[in-house]
Amino acid sequence: MKNIELIESFSEFKDDKFIDRITLMGILEEVLRSALKKKYGDNDNFDVIINPDKGDLEIWRNRTVVENGEVENPNLEISLDQAREIEPDFEVGEDVSEEVKLSDLGRRSILSLRQNLISKIKEHDNTNTFKYFEDLKGEIYTAEVHHVRHNVVILLDDDGNELVIPKDHQIPNDFYRKGDSVRGVIEIVELRGNKPYIVLSRTSPEFLKKLFEQEIPEVFDGLINVKDAVRVPGEKAKVAVDTYDDRIDPVGACVGMKGSRIHGIVRELGNENIDVINYTTNPHLYISRALSPAKIGDIKFDEENKRAEVSIKPDEVSKAIGRGGHNIRLAGKLCGYELDVYREGLSDEDVELSEFSDEIEDWVIKEFQKIGLDTAKSVLELPREDLIRRTDLEEETIDNILSILKEEFED
């Protein structure tokens, strides 16, 4: 193989891997010097000349002429007779430069050289890809579904870079088909071995924030600031917004008339129910807004343990807790407190369900609490059919609970 043929055969990498010719030549010189060192034991006395404009390279080995029979290091020294075969007027002590052809390295060395070059180019490409996506962490990115597996969706972008959406970063109701265009936020960028591992997330609160930035002009322009966002992906989300301009209603601007502005975000997130509230530094007011649509009464704070006891009228409890307990959990997460709900005006004769923990399992009590029933009388006041319909409990379990609670009051 001639030198120029080697250069031409590697032009494919420049085109496929988007490596400029100068960088390619630098990698080629590094690989060539490695091959020379392997064959001759050293490469310091070699000149590797690469001409990117002509697409050619030259390799010259420099040695010193010594008397015949006195050659100690064949890589650094050449006998007088051998030197005069190159140029007849050489004398002892002079330097000889002799061109080395690729064929002189041997077939195995050339194959190894090519493999090393491919490896170096891939390493260079992977490093650049890693740096590119590292700078995009937290930003929305779009790629196309290439393959759908049980626990992961594999995507390719326009440049052929691979991204993945693991199961825990997919919205539960998402459905993917090959060729679909998918948006998400760049959540994780790692080098696993030498290969970039890039995770696109659709469940991250950051994705919701960035969607607000993309879809709502005032957020994009900085007139409205998204202070925080919390989510139960695909179910419910709460977003706190603020503005420095008193003329702007940040909630109204984000939601739009009849929800027109936020509709695109809701649709993107699989019809996730999004509550937008005004941010405030007043913790009492902030919790009140976060627990909307429920109307709350007094709040007692335990700052040391970051807990808050919220008093709510009995008919507002289920609103505060929300379906599956999502509303109260998200409100607490948004405000930074563990929220405990207490019914206002709880009768002295009534008993908290938690008091029955020795007879009723905790998971059963939690099922009732999810629908706003946290006292014995609140359970007994509801018809049996409603309890069966609104909880995931078996009829037999419901009957057993009702029996336990009725017995308490009969006693």
Same domain, 196 and 211: no
Task: Answer whether residue 311 is part of any domain.
Answer: no
Return phi, psi of residue 247, to 5°. -80, -10
pLDDT of residue 4: 46
Q: How many CA atoms lie within 13 A of 389 on its CB side?
A: 5
Task: Answer whether residue 310 is part of any domain.
Answer: no
Q: What is the pLDDT of residues 364-384, one digit of tens each?
A: 888 888 787 878 888 888 888
pLDDT of residue 109: 67
Higher pLDDT, residue 347 or 142? 142
Task: Answer whether residue 339 is part of any domain.
Answer: no
Same domain, 11 and 124: yes
Task: Answer whether residue 383 is part of any domain.
Answer: yes
Q: Over 70: is that where the pLDDT of 88 sits?
A: yes
C-alpha 367 chain-centroid distance: 33
Same domain, 145 and 211: no
Same domain, 22 and 87: yes
Order across the sheet with 224-232: list the strands.
Answer: 224-232, 236-243, 273-278
Same domain, 17 and 90: yes
Same domain, 26 and 112: yes
Same domain, 380 and 358: yes
Q: Where are the alpha helices (DSSP H) in 154-220?
A: 205-215, 217-220
Residue 367 three-state SS:
helix
Same domain, 14 and 109: yes
- State which of 103, 131, 159 marks the end of a domain: 131
Task: Answer whether residue 286 is part of any domain.
Answer: no
**Token pair of 161 as six digits:** 């870079």
The answer to whether the beta carbons of residues 386 and 380 sit under 8 Å apart is: no
Task: Answer whether residue 309 is part of any domain.
Answer: no
Same domain, 157 and 221: no
Q: Which element (helix H / strand E) includes 242? A: strand 236-243
Task: Answer whether residue 345 is part of any domain.
Answer: no
Same domain, 89 and 113: yes
Q: What is the mean pLDDT of residues 184-200?
A: 90
In the DSSP assignment, the letter for residue 352 is B
Domain extent at residue 160: 137-203
Looking up residue 176, the CATH number of its domain turns out to be: 2.40.50.140
Same domain, 197 and 126: no
Task: Answer whether residue 253 is part of any domain.
Answer: yes
Task: Give residue 237's pLDDT band: very low, low, confident or very high (50, 70, 90).
Answer: very high
Q: What is the pLDDT of residues 323-351, one digit of tens each?
A: 878 899 999 999 999 988 877 765 556 77
Three-class SS string for 129-159?
HHHHHHCCCCCEEEEEEEEECCCEEEEECCC
**Token pair of 232 as six digits:** 């139960």
d(CA 329, CA 334): 9
Q: What is the mean pLDDT of residues 29-40?
A: 81
Looking up residue 272, the CATH number of its domain turns out to be: 3.30.300.20
Q: What is the mean pLDDT of residues 40-50?
A: 81
Q: What is the mean pLDDT of residues 158-184?
A: 92
Mean pLDDT score across all residues of the chain: 84
Number of domains in the chain: 4
- State which of 68, 96, 131 marks the end of a domain: 131
Closest CA to 263 of 219, 202, 216: 216
- State which of 279, 296, 328 marks the end of a domain: 279
Same domain, 263 and 144: no
